[in-house]
Every structure is written in structure tokens, then in C-alpha cells.
Amino acid sequence: MSAVPASARGSAGAAAATLLAVRGLRKRFGGVVATDDVTLAVAEGEVHALIGPNGAGKTSLIAQLSGTLMPDHGEIRFAGVDITRLVQHRRVKLGLARSFQITRLFRSFSAVENLAIAVQARDGRNLSFWRPVSRDTAIADEARALLGEIGLAARADMPAAALSHGEQRALEVGVALATRPRLLLLDEPMAGTGPEESARMVELIERVRTKATVLLVEHDVDAVFRLADRVSVLVNGRVIASGLPDAVRNDPEVVTAYLGDEVHR
Amino acid sequence: MTPAASAASAASATATASTGPSPAARVALLALAFAAIAFPFAMQALDASFYVSVASRMMIYAIAATSLNLVLGYGGLVSFGHAAFFGIGAYTVGILITEGVVSGWIGIPLAMGIAALFATVIGAVSLRTRGVYFIMITLAFAQMLFYLVNSVKAYGGDEGLNLKLRSSLGFGLNLKDDATFYFVVLACLAGTLLAVHRIMGSRFGRIVLAMRDDDVRAEAIGVPTFRYKLVLFVIAAALGGLSGALMVNQQNYVNPNVLHWTQSGTLMVMVILGGVGTLWGGVLGAFVLLLLEEVISAYTVHWQFWVGWILLAIVLYAPRGLVGLVSRALGRGAGRK
């Protein structure tokens, strides 16, 4: 399990510019501290994994990064812009997109239509009330090409709700990808998938990384150590370690707090 | 959220309908247009002109229900205050005529514009909420307007506003003539249906359907969902205002009851009966409900009791409403839009 593809590590050069910089982020709900002084840097081009036990604050952090939850303190900079108070759709326009842990697709739309609407949203010019969207062949073409890239070409016209779980997970990533993000927040893309589907998702993320920087929140520790250039560990709302996978894996604090026997299995 | 849920189940058909009507649907549409145009002449020949104004009333309600279907059915936004826009349209024309402004070319656009203006304010507040809160806030706004109109004695207050004149349109069109009025209403209904069809097939319409499926996801692909919902809400209100403007012209009278919440409820019943999120749902629902009222009330004053049973059966067994039943009966063609 420690076999790491050399290609995956290639782009993790120390000189890469910081794309996402989080500083001193705090969020509390009543007496519960969800995010406790989180500082995190994601470099352009890397796959940065965020791991941690249940209740560590991963979901709250993703919500603050994507703009659905406003932090109490701290700062989020994306590509040099302060986005701390920016609403979500504006962050998407800047190139920060997310996928969801619990699949959220446009269920009555077909697979290709799910991608087409995301392409259309990125394209803008949507206060158009009279011209049939079916004449916008550029949108349909791009959606079909992308559908092929995520391996669902054969499912184009199937309603999203009728796809298998693994296919829905792939489409979930595809919809986010259709916005052409610079940074893609993947919230547990392997959630609920079997080993075969997980392997396919790992492949998909390998392809995604050639197009976008990835912040990967994932429970599947095997997958994380195969994909990630760097790993940050979140426990009780705090980042307790951040660095190269091997260093993090052997960090005594990480082992006690989270990985424990999972690594030494 | 039954309407929204059943709308979603109907949407896979709606979502792919942008390729235009099938040949069978084209024929059905032509036949319908022919029947609608021939109707007043046939009634005159049969010496049954009374039914021409009955049909006009049904078409006015069809416009109102179709406009509600835009937000409720396609948008998945359960607005319980749509009568407000119907009433605003009616009172705008009523007040203008009382003040001596009889031109329909001023009255009708203004009725639509003022309804849209109110919708901008009401929507700006209510669309920040969802679910039950949205239902309650739209209801509250409509009831506020109901009480406001009730208290404005200058324009009849709770006794309503009687009009001596109808809107004038020029071009030799006299709205006092039942057949002329019928054709004006028919043109407005056709225009409304064409507009809804084109809007729902456009880029904007795709965004609306996406937001109905999952507005959290829509926001996450970069759609400013609040803004788009507001635009939808305003368009629906303008069309609601149009129906009110026509209604006051038919009745020469308007009273605050057109803004009452039961009126909003009636429009919702029409939409659910006809088919949530379908092009013809509002039309079919309005026609059938008003016909049922007409027929059953000849036998009993408790006609609403029997309509209740019919509505229950539709909700339980035909989630796409009468449009769903009709399109199933006709095969796949006609109901697709």
C-alpha cells in the first residue's frame, strides 16, 4: 500500500505558488468549536489531502472554503484574492468549485444535461428567455466531451437518478469539473463506494489533477496516500500536522490521534 | 412539498422537450386553435352566446393559473400569495378607468408592471426563505394587500369598485362585445403559453429547472440562485397582473376578494389539478375546475366537497395531473411539453 506513483509526486515542487491560503480560521457553534485556528496552504497543481476522524471539522472547513458558512475569524485567500466574505457563486466564478459528500445532482436531468447546465452556468449570459438552449451546440459538445472524460459516455441520456452509485459519484465530480475550476474541493468522493468503484475514482482524480489543483477530503486512507502530494490532518478543528505523506504517516501525534492501527494494519 | 416533488417526477419529460412538438402534437395544437377560433361563431349560430363569456372567464383563469404554474410548477416555489398579483392587475386597471385613463394600451402594461414591481419587493424578502416559511411569507404579503385594499375607501373599500367603462384598445375593437373580448383574451392566453414555452426552453428556463431539482447544487456551480428565482417570480407576477386586468374588464367590477387567500388557493388547486410544471396544466386545471363548479353547483351548494374528492384522487393517482392523464391516453406525443 505504500507504493506511490512517481508521476503523482512530480508536480509537488517546493517552488509552486500558493493557490489557497487559509489563515487563523475560526468557527464556533455555541459552545462547540468546529474550526479552531486553522492555517492551511494549498499549492498550485498539487493534490492536497485533508484527513481526520469523524467530527474533526472537515465538513465545516469545506463549507467555509466554498462559501456556504461564514467564519467568525480568519482569512481565506484564493489566487491572491481575499474571498473570506465572498458568496459561493462568486467563488465559483473565480475558479473554486466543490463536489458533495452526499451526492447532489440535478436528478431529473440526464447525465449529459447535468454537465451541460454546469457548462452553461460557467458561460453566463443566462438571462436569455426566448432562444432555445438546444441551439447552443457549443454547450452540448463540451458536455459530451467531458462526459467521455469521466467515463460515462455510454450513459449520456440516462436520468442522473437512474445511474449506479459509482456513476453518480463520478458525475458529481464531473459537474464540479464542468465549471473549469482552478481548485476543486472534493468532499469524500469515495463515500459509499465499493473497492472497484474506489479504484475507478482514484483513476478519475489522477486525470482531474492534470486540469485543476485538488483539495481532497477523504476517509479512505489508502486512496489518500496513493493520490496526495501533501497531507494535512485535522483533529478537533485543528490542523495537527501538514506535510509530505511519509512524514505525516510517521508523525507520532497523528498516529495517536487518528491513524493509529489503520496504518500499521 | 408535494407539488415540487411531483413536478420533479414530471421533469425528465419537461427537461428534454426543447426539440419542439411531435407531428401528433402539432396536429392537436392546430385543431385546438381552430376550435378556439370557431367557438364564438358556433355559439352565435346556436344562439348560445352566453357561453362565449363563460369561455372568456375560463381563459382568464387559465392565464392566472399558468402564471402561477411558472413559479409553483417549473420553479418548485410554493407561492401561496399569487392572488395578490391578480388583484393588483385588476385594481390597477380599475383605478385607472375610475380616474379617466381608459386606454388598454396604458392600463394593461401598467397592470403587469405594477404587479411586477410588487413582486420584486415581495420576492426580495420571501425568496430568502424556503419551504414552509416561503409559503407563509407569500401568504402574509397577499393578506396585507387584501386588508390594505379593504381599507381604501376612495376606491370602494370592502364594497368594491364599480366601473362604467371597459378598457379601450382602438383599432375598432370594442371590449363590450363578448366575441371581441373573447378573442382578445384568447390572444393573451396564446401569448402567455408561447412565452412560458419559450422561457422554459431557454437558457433561463434550464437554470430554473436546475434550481428546482437542487438549488444548493445550482449555487455550487456558480448560479446566483436568489437573483434567478426573483426574475422568475417577477415574470409570473406580471402575467398574473395581465389576468387580473382582463378580469376587471369582463366583470366591470372588482372587490378585495380577488386578493383573498382563498383566491390563491383556488389558483393552486387549478395548477395541481391540471398538472404541476406542465405547459397545459394551468389551462386544463382552470377549465376543469370552473366546469366542475358550474356542473356540480347545479345539483348541490356543497360542490367544493365533491371537487375535494376529485383533487384527492388526482394527487394520489395522477401526480402529473390531468395533463399526465391526457398525455398517457394520447400516447407519448401531446403531453410532452
pLDDT band at B170 (very low <50, low <70, confident <90, very high): confident
Predicted local confidence at residue B162, as pLDDT: 83
Enumerate chain A positions whose Cβ falls within 8 A of a Cβ in B: 66, 68, 87-89, 92-93, 97-98, 100, 104-110, 113, 116-118, 120-122, 125-134, 136, 159, 175-176, 178-179
pTM score over 0.80: yes
Predicted local confidence at residue B156, as pLDDT: 80
Predicted local confidence at residue A261, as pLDDT: 53
Predicted local confidence at residue A154, as pLDDT: 94
Average pLDDT estimate for B181-196: 96
Q: How far is CA B139 from CA A184, A251, B82, B168, B277, in A?
A: 41, 59, 8, 34, 21
CA torsion angle A157 A163 A168 A172 (round to 10) = 20
pLDDT band at B335 (very low <50, low <70, confident <90, very high): very low
Smallest Cβ–Cβ distance between B224 and the set A89, A110, A116 belongs to A89
In three-state secondary structure terms, B7 is helix
Q: Yes or no: say if A248 and A242 are a contact pair by the CB < 8 Å rule.
A: yes
Mean pLDDT of chain B: 88
Dump pLDDT digits (tens) for A168-207. Answer: 999 999 999 999 999 999 999 988 888 888 999 999 999 9
C-alpha cell at B222: 456558480
Task: Count the Cβ atoms, other than its own, within 10 Å of residue A246.
Answer: 12
Verify whether the Cβ–Cβ distance A120 to B11 is below 8 Å.
no
Verify whether the Cβ–Cβ distance A106 to B217 is below 8 Å.
yes
Contacts of B9 in chain A (CB under 8 A): 108
Contacts of B206 in chain A (CB under 8 A): 116-117, 120, 133
Average pLDDT estimate for B170-176: 80
β-partners of residue A42 are A20
The answer on pLDDT for A228 being more than 70 is yes
Predicted local confidence at residue A213, as pLDDT: 96
Mean pLDDT of chain A: 89
What are the extents of the domains in chain B?
2-336
B208–chain A nearest CA distance, Å? 10
Verify whether the Cβ–Cβ distance A133 to B220 is below 8 Å.
no
Predicted local confidence at residue B20, as pLDDT: 58
The answer on pLDDT for A97 being more than 90 is yes
Bigger pLDDT: B212 or A30? B212
Average pLDDT estimate for B246-271: 92
Predicted local confidence at residue A8, as pLDDT: 41
The answer on pLDDT for A19 being more than 70 is yes
Distance between CA atoms of A56 and B121, rounded to whole angstroms? 42
Q: Yes or no: say if B323 and B336 are a contact pair by the CB < 8 Å rule.
A: no
Window 195-234 of B, Cβ < 8 Å to A: 198-199, 201-207, 209-210, 213-214, 216-225, 228, 231
Smallest Cβ–Cβ distance between B202 and the set A66, A121, A132 belongs to A132
The answer on pLDDT for B69 being more than 90 is yes
Predicted local confidence at residue B17, as pLDDT: 42
Q: How far is CA B185 from CA B34, B56, B63, B64, in A?
A: 15, 6, 9, 12
Verify whether the Cβ–Cβ distance A121 to B8 is below 8 Å.
no
Average pLDDT estimate for B44-65: 92
Verify whether the Cβ–Cβ distance A113 to B15 is below 8 Å.
yes
Query: B205 to chain A: nearest residue by CA?
Result: A129
Average pLDDT estimate for B39-54: 89
Verify whether the Cβ–Cβ distance B198 to A129 is below 8 Å.
yes
Predicted local confidence at residue A70, as pLDDT: 95
A142–chain B nearest CA distance, Å? 16
Verify whether the Cβ–Cβ distance A159 to B12 is below 8 Å.
yes
Verify whether the Cβ–Cβ distance B221 to A93 is below 8 Å.
no
Distance between CA atoms of A180 and A95, rounded to whole angstroms? 7
Predicted local confidence at residue B21, as pLDDT: 66
Predicted local confidence at residue A53, as pLDDT: 86
Average pLDDT estimate for B115-120: 97
The answer on pLDDT for A243 being more than 50 is yes
Distance between CA atoms of A57 and A33, rounded to whole angstroms? 9
Predicted local confidence at residue B2, as pLDDT: 39
β-partners of residue A73 are A26
Contacts of B204 in chain A (CB under 8 A): 126-129
Which domains, ranges and CATH numbers included, belong to chain A?
Answer: 1-95+183-265 (3.40.50.300), 107-180 (no CATH)
The answer on pLDDT for B3 being more than 50 is no
A23–chain B nearest CA distance, Å? 23
Average pLDDT estimate for A34-55: 92
pLDDT band at B207 (very low <50, low <70, confident <90, very high): very high
The answer on pLDDT for B332 being more than 70 is no
Q: What percent of chain A has pLDDT over 70?
A: 92
Predicted local confidence at residue A49, as pLDDT: 95
Smallest Cβ–Cβ distance between A106 and the set B202, B203, B210 belongs to B210
Contacts of B18 in chain A (CB under 8 A): 132-134
A191–chain B nearest CA distance, Å? 18
Dump pLDDT digits (tens) for A102-126. Answer: 999 999 999 999 999 999 999 988 8
Q: How far is CA B198 from CA A26, B5, B195, in A?
A: 47, 23, 5
pLDDT band at B155 (very low <50, low <70, confident <90, very high): confident
The answer on pLDDT for B14 being more than 80 is no
In sequence order, which residues have a C-beta less than 8 Å from that of residue B163 and are 6 or more positions away? Answer: B94, B97, B98, B248, B252, B253, B254
CA torsion angle A28 A92 B119 B131 (round to 10) = -50
ipTM of the complex in this document: 0.88
Work out the burial of residue B127: count CB atoms within 10 Å of its CB; fewer than 13 is exposed, 13-18 middle, 19 or more buried. buried
Predicted local confidence at residue A15, as pLDDT: 53
In sequence order, which residues have a C-beta less than 8 Å from that of residue A101 and are 6 or more positions away? Answer: A59, A187, A188, A191, A217
Contacts of A116 in chain B (CB under 8 A): 206
B21 touching A (Cβ < 8 Å): no
Predicted local confidence at residue A260, as pLDDT: 63
pLDDT band at A7 (very low <50, low <70, confident <90, very high): very low
B16, B214, B221: which to substitute to probe chain A, counting the most A Cβ within 10 Å? B221
Smallest Cβ–Cβ distance between B222 and the set A93, A131, A134 belongs to A93
pLDDT band at B8 (very low <50, low <70, confident <90, very high): very low
Predicted local confidence at residue A262, as pLDDT: 53
Predicted local confidence at residue A13, as pLDDT: 44
Distance between CA atoms of A90 and B230, rounded to whole angstroms? 18
Q: What percent of chain B has pLDDT over 70?
A: 92
A106–chain B nearest CA distance, Å? 5
B128, B197, B206: which to substitute to probe chain A, counting the most A Cβ within 10 Å? B206
Distance between CA atoms of A84 and A96, rounded to whole angstroms? 13
Bigger pLDDT: A7 or B74? B74
β-partners of residue A26 are A36, A73
Predicted local confidence at residue B169, as pLDDT: 83
Average pLDDT estimate for B306-314: 88
Q: Yes or no: say if B142 and B119 are a contact pair by the CB < 8 Å rule.
A: no
The answer on pLDDT for B4 being more than 70 is no
Verify whether the Cβ–Cβ distance A110 to B12 is below 8 Å.
yes
